[in-house]
Amino acid sequence: MPRIPSSGSTLLTRAARRRLSLLLPGAVMLSLWQVCEALVPVAIGIVVDRAILPLSLPMLIVSILGIGVLFTVLSLGYRFGSRLCNAAREHEAHALRVEITHAALTSADLPADRTSGEVLSIASADADTAAMSFQQAGRGIASVLGMITAAVFLLVADPVTGLVVLVAVPIGLIIVALPGRSVSAKATAQLDAVARAGRSASDLMHGLRVIKAMGGEDWAVHRYRQTSDDAAAAGIATGERTGRLAGLGALVMSAVLAIVLIVAGLRLIDGQMSVGALIGILGMTAFLTEPMRALAEIVGLFAQSHGAAERIARLLADIAAEAEPETPEAAAPLPTVTLSESAVIVAGWPDGDDEIITTFGELTCIVTDTAEHGAELLAALSTHARGLGPETMIVAPHDTDLFEGTIRSNITMVVGADDQVHTDDRVTAEVLAASGTDELLGLVDGGLDHRIQELGGNLSGGQRQRVALARALSADPAVLVLVEPTTAVDAVTEARIAQGVSRLRRDAGRRATVILTSSPAFLAAADIVVHVPATGPILRGRHSELLAGDDAAAAAYRRAVTR
């Protein structure tokens, strides 16, 4: 992925560099359109002087053909220039969304002050707003070139009028650009408020069933109304500041145009220009309203893009900082996980010695007396799995996350998973039986094509666990790590699942399976049980052997696995 930008300006600069192949030709085509528009009043003035006043039919025919060519080039320049700039905007918005999503998904955890709702808001609204700068850049370059063309013509047609334009227009642009920083600040505040509203909505949706069960609908509505009102107030403030900027731009540019018209009128009265020149100057002055208004609008829009880019850069930096390992003074280092040709080895857990926690072809259960030891091992395994990829190693957490779609698509996690032709080879009868999902299919309409609501709201906790287990088993990684996969199912179903998982993973050949659990059913089905006591050496053996011991270590194991 791209290097993390340090600021919004850096992000926009990086974006411009990687879209130059679209932005440059787009700006050239838009500039061609704007220059041709600027030449329209010039062409009309020439037609008046060379064809209409002299009553020359041949020159009139040539003039009509020339104006036709001019408008053809003008139209095509705008068409293809806008298309290229829009393509640059959409490609960059997509790239920013992917970059934000990749950073959030590959990070061990989001920063404490960031939630999924806020990340979603930044990956959608902020990415689109930041990428909008490409449209602004293309239009801005075209507007500036159009104004330069107008100034050159005015200097040629009448030096005094041209000089007035060259002096007055830059002064007007500077006046319009000065409030741009305050607009950027207001836009950033608005995006922050919208992100907070998204974060609040995400929290409420996750806890919707609990809120309804406790009769907390009024509280939830009041809470969200407050954050939504804050977002609305921030949006109004941004709109007000942007409107003031647009109004200031219109006022300044109108004053510039009035000065130009007065000077041109006085020059005509003095007889220092022709009728055709006057028509060209008046048309050029009228034309100047478009690029001037566009530049005034672009200043405000670019300020909003800069504010959105600043928020994206801060989010990426926060996620990167969260992913950096803590210093030894701040926290103890995590255990180190390595995969050999025949085993999964953990170093530095919990007593510093290397420990083989499982070998390929075995199902291993790990029982820890303390939550700290279990959390350390899980963090080390998860970190190692992210560097290997899902084909080699998967760590399936205890928390079950299902998504809106079908049971089939939630198991395969493949785009287009609702297409049975492409996914039946992933959802085998063995996987369904081993996870206990086959029983679920008999209870719902449609079987594998049964629709699952958002977050699996129409399934029970045990049913969600079975679908999640089927997902992990169907991926068939070389090393599969499960964390308490059956806490929400009954004892009979749990025993059946334990036997099914053991049989499936052994039949798969050179596969290793690690289960962090104290479930008697999984412990009895395991080839090896690893017991990590609060203090003392790690014990390894079969479940029955560890239970049969008569020493203190066996007594500690019995206490750990007794329900």
Q: Cβ atoms within 10 A of the Cβ of 457, count? A: 13
**208 shares a domain with 121:** yes
> Which distant-in-sequence residues (6+ apart) come within 8 Å of 453 by Cβ?
404
In a domain, 158, yes or no: yes
In a domain, 12, yes or no: yes
In a domain, 328, yes or no: no
In a domain, 190, yes or no: yes
Q: What pLDDT, on a 0 to 100 scale, did the predictor assign at position 420?
A: 45
In a domain, 3, yes or no: no
Phi, psi of 357 (to 5 degrees): -90, -25
In a domain, 271, yes or no: yes
**225 shares a domain with 110:** yes
Domain end marker among 320, 353, 375: 320
Domain end marker among 320, 348, 370: 320
**133 shares a domain with 264:** yes
Domain end marker among 256, 290, 320: 320
Is-contact 276 46, C-beta < 8 A? yes
| Residue 419 structural domain | 336-561
**182 shares a domain with 62:** yes
Q: What pLDDT, on a 0 to 100 scale, did the predictor assign at position 417?
A: 42
**237 shares a domain with 342:** no
**376 shares a domain with 255:** no
Q: What pLDDT, on a 0 to 100 scale, did the predictor assign at position 328?
A: 42
In a domain, 537, yes or no: yes
State the Cα–Cα distance between residues 403 and 385, nearest whole angstrom: 22
Phi, psi of 5 (to 5 degrees): -70, 150
DSSP 401: -
Over the chain (563 residues), the average pLDDT of each successive run of 10 is 74 85 87 82 76 80 85 88 88 88 74 69 82 80 79 74 72 69 70 72 66 71 81 81 75 76 72 65 69 72 80 83 54 65 71 67 84 80 76 81 79 58 62 84 80 75 85 85 86 88 76 86 86 79 81 77 69
State the Cα–Cα distance between residues 96 and 102, nearest whole angstrom: 10
**204 shares a domain with 79:** yes
**341 shares a domain with 313:** no
Alpha carbon 372 to chain centroid, angstroms: 33
Q: What is the radius of gyration, based on Cα positions, of the chain?
A: 34
State the Cα–Cα distance between residues 502 and 522, nearest whole angstrom: 8
**372 shares a domain with 272:** no
Alpha carbon 426 to chain centroid, angstroms: 29
In a domain, 406, yes or no: yes
Q: What pLDDT, on a 0 to 100 scale, did the predictor assign at position 416?
A: 52
* Contacts by residues 485-491 (CB-CB < 8 Å, ≥ 24 positions apart): 485/396, 485/398, 485/515, 485/517, 486/517, 486/519, 486/521, 486/522, 487/398, 487/519, 488/460, 488/461, 488/462, 488/464, 489/436, 489/462, 489/465, 490/462, 491/521
**287 shares a domain with 174:** yes
Number of domains the chain contains: 2
Whichever domain contains 387, its CATH number is: 3.40.50.300
Instruction: Give the amino acid at 485.
Output: P
State the Cα–Cα distance between residues 225 and 223, nearest whole angstrom: 5
Whichever domain contains 309, its CATH number is: 1.20.1560.10
**368 shares a domain with 313:** no
Q: Quick one: residue 535, left, alpha or beta (phi over 0 = left, psi -120 to 50 = alpha)?
A: beta
Q: What pLDDT, on a 0 to 100 scale, did the predictor assign at position 127?
A: 86
Q: What pLDDT, on a 0 to 100 scale, did the predictor assign at position 458?
A: 76
Mark 127-152 as b/e (b = at least 16 C-beta within 10 Å): bbbbbbbbbbbbbbbbbbbbbbbbbe
**192 shares a domain with 112:** yes
